[in-house]
Structure 1
């Protein structure tokens, strides 16, 4: 789906000493992480750990201090629109679809800036192949669909922008297990096609089960990091987040 650019050290995204917050109240405290091309990286932690704030800072929706390098470029001085155009595309928590527009119109909005309209239509067909339910619902108002279908639509809309890095905030929130399983399969598939994924999740086991590597956040800081399989087996992580 997408060719992944990267910095000279092999990292697609490198974050160092990141700080951010709201109204003068700090949330993130010197967060550092990296995401390499064509991998799924999970950022996990309980509600209030700062995960959504991290994604908002990376997408430049909120101001931040520290370093954010994407494809070797400094994102800190960029606007949210510029970051999007560089290929860092976010699927926000709560989906944020245009409820009174059809599924197809929601998807095509993500391709509005593209000059390759014929290719965009091919991408639309690809989204319907990736999410068959959306093909069935393409003329339906997005706001009238189930939560799982809306999450599929939000992910397909982001993929229509041909992201290099897809950042997903709380993908599984409120969804039935069967839908979550379908979405997890999609994540693995798009990763295999070259799209890098940064998955922010409160469901620690779910996220680490599909990820290559992971970071655990607590109160705005990274407290554990490593291969996803190692984190699942880490006694501290198992006790704190998996109830084991």
Structure 2
């Protein structure tokens, strides 16, 4: 598995198991994410990708180990994990539809309410990254298009000042031109120092933009490596790219 040289992982997952009641979903998952890189987690629907995110966020009981910045997260509550900088953009965006765009963004910074100057600076930064959010700042979030709502959800997560931002099915239901625009935003966010875990069913999209990638099947990691190598791997091409 290729990884940045002489760098300690920001997130290290070891032998992770999780499920729902008596139904096991994750089986001995191992992965590492290094600072300021974009890692893709890809696989078909039902592979266990969202379950893994729920376990990382503390929303699901699990076994094994999840260490971020040297701190064990298994058994830590979701709000404390969020406070440590592990922030998730959920599948389906889950915005506050009857609130304005700006109020949605401010909700992302609610744990930082004592630092109003920094919140204002970050709000201006979000409007620079997402000009359409600036144009629609007083519009109800639920009245926007799917692509605009996804931009709003990403901006809301960034307002939490994440160390690691996890994005679940970013491209779901969006036109290819919109997903490409969002991938360019992801690259800009990464250059700004935010580490990104991109969870995608669209394997081509994810592998084309990530540094490294993991392929998941039936709750297990079955392939891993540099994204540029995996996109040319015959097994990955046949299973996920229709080649």
State the TM bucket, normalised to the shorter chain.
over 0.9
The equivalent residue for 1:129 is: 128
Is 1:20 the counterpart of 2:18 in the alignment? yes
* RMSD across aligned positions (CA): 0.9
Q: Provide the C-alpha distance between the structure 2 equivalents of 1:207 and 1:14, rounded to a whole number of angstroms.
A: 21
Query: Following TM superposition, by how much is the alpha carbon of 1:32 offset from its aligned partner in structure 2, in angstroms?
Result: 0.4
Aligned positions of 1:100-139 closer than 5 A: 100-114=98-112, 115-139=114-138
- Deviating 4+ runs (over 2 angstroms): none
Aligned positions of 1:54-133 closer than 5 A: 54-114=52-112, 115-133=114-132
Query: Following TM superposition, by how much is the alpha carbon of 1:111 offset from its aligned partner in structure 2, in angstroms?
Result: 1.2
Query: Following TM superposition, by how much is the alpha carbon of 1:112 offset from its aligned partner in structure 2, in angstroms?
Result: 1.7
The equivalent residue for 2:146 is: 147
The equivalent residue for 2:35 is: 37
Q: Provide the C-alpha distance between the structure 2 equivalents of 1:213 and 1:50, rounded to a whole number of angstroms.
A: 19
Aligned length: 237
- The answer (yes or no) to whether the contact 2:18–2:60 under 8 Å persists in 1 is yes
Q: Provide the C-alpha distance between the structure 1 equivalents of 2:60 and 2:68, rounded to a whole number of angstroms.
A: 17
Is 1:220 the counterpart of 2:219 in the alignment? yes
- The answer (yes or no) to whether the contact 2:47–2:219 under 8 Å persists in 1 is yes
Q: Secondary structure at the match of 2:111?
A: coil
Query: Following TM superposition, by how much is the alpha carbon of 1:49 offset from its aligned partner in structure 2, in angstroms?
Result: 0.1
Q: Provide the C-alpha distance between the structure 2 equivalents of 1:58 and 1:113, rounded to a whole number of angstroms.
A: 20
Q: Secondary structure at the match of 2:24?
A: strand
> Gaps (5+ residues) in structure 1?
1-7
Q: Provide the C-alpha distance between the structure 2 equivalents of 1:205 and 1:231, rounded to a whole number of angstroms.
A: 10
Query: Following TM superposition, by how much is the alpha carbon of 1:9 offset from its aligned partner in structure 2, in angstroms?
Result: 6.0
Is 1:162 the counterpart of 2:161 in the alignment? yes
> Gaps (5+ residues) in structure 2?
1-5
TM-score, structure 2 length as denominator? 0.96
